[in-house]
Amino acid sequence: MDLLKVVITTVRLKLVPTAEKYSHDIFKEFTAEITKYMFPKPAARIKETLAFIKTSRKKMASGEEFQVVVLNKDTGEFLGHAGIRGVNTSTPELGVWIKKSAHGNKYGKEAIGGLKKWIDKNINYTHIKYPVERHNVASRKIAEALGGVVKAQYPKTNASGRLLDEVEYHIFPKQP
C-alpha cells in the first residue's frame, strides 16, 4: 500500500499525508503551549519543520509511518497533525495535536478515531499504543473513548527537557 496516497475522511475531517505545502501551518501552530505534554519540541526554524516532513514522507514511502495533516473537510482549514508510528509492526502507536484556536471541538478525538478505523481495516495488530502525559485530560479521554486501557506508566523527559509523567494506553482491535 502506498501510504503517500492514502486519504481518510471522517464526518468533519480530511486526513491527508503530510507534505511540504503544509510546512508553514505546522511551523506556526506547533508551539511550546501545544507541545507542553508531548515528546517533541517546537521547531525553532522552518527548516526543522521541512526536515520533519521530508523524514516523515520517507518513512511513509517505506511503510514505517503514516503522518497526516488534519484538515476541515469542507473548508480545507489546517487544524493539526496526527500519525501512526510502527505501521509495519504489531503494536503501532498513535499521536495527534490540534492547533490552539481549534481546541474544544473534539477534532483530536475524531482524527484518532479515523486513524483507528483505518488501522482496523489495514493492519494486523495486537494492540495500538497511545502514550499520553498523565495530566493531559483531553488526550486521555481520546484513548478511553476508544476502549484504551492503561498498561504502563513511566517518566520520560521530552525534547524540551520537561519531565513527563507518561501513561501508556493500549487500544485493542475491534471485535467482529
pLDDT computed for residue 30 by the predictor: 96
Q: What is the mean pLDDT of the chain?
A: 95
The tens digit of pLDDT for each residue in 1-28 reads 899 999 999 999 999 999 999 999 999 9
Could you tell me which of 77, 74, 76, 70 has the C-alpha nearest to residue 97?
A: 70
Condensed to tens digits (0 to 9), the pLDDT of residues 62-112 reads: 999 999 999 999 999 999 999 999 999 999 999 999 999 999 999 999 999
pLDDT at residue 122 greater than cutoff 70: yes
Alpha-carbon span 27 to 40, nearest angstrom? 13
Segment (H or E) for 18 = none
Cα 106 from Cα 164, distance rounded (Å): 23
